[in-house]
A and B are shown apart, each in its own frame.
Chain A
């Protein structure tokens, strides 16, 4: 497909379990972003990749959150020892190289921690 693809669309996990969320960006997009969106809020930045390099991870809420993009394409956001406050929609976005490029979002993964 032509857009950003995320999987799974929905994930339910018990508190304490580890989860992995996948993002496949638009082909040729160098930049990849992860955001967290709580109900009724705007997306909040988690981390940014340029190709395989993670250039900014200042938004990751704790060391339980880890993201990687080993080959500069698909990215995985991993959350270890999940907590109820991790319940949110996790959005991935990608953009072309260069400043001020618009970001295009995937459909997100809705994570529910029981």
Chain B
């Protein structure tokens, strides 16, 4: 059974700090990895996708993937109160297959 593990949090950081969110997955054949942001009562919003080992940067966000360790992370630089949300890690094993989600990590950025 595919599993995606995330610390539920909350992760509390002060405004302007770097927030580091982590995710591990169990299925070694997983090929694509996504981070979604979900505000309370809202739908998941795609913020990053990563497919190969290493880092991928997009604005204040950096996704890091290590397939050997089955680990993917999301760094948010210069955190803002508006970044306060639940961050969902999702894993896909390629093809048309569904996404397997973690339970999400709640991030709280204090002014």
Contact = CB atoms under 8 A, between A and B. Distances in A.
Contacts of B25: none
Contacts of B94: 99-100
A105 B38 CA distance: 11
B5 to A, nearest CB: 11
Interface residues of B, number: 26
Interface stretch (B10-18, B39-47, B57-65, B71-79): B39-47
Contacts of A102: 34, 46, 49
Contacts of A106: 43
B88 A107 contact: no
A102 to B, nearest CB: 5
A107 B44 CA distance: 8
A63 B31 CA distance: 31
Interface in A54-85: 55-56, 59
Interface of A: 31, 33, 40-45, 48, 50, 55-56, 59, 91, 99-100, 102-108
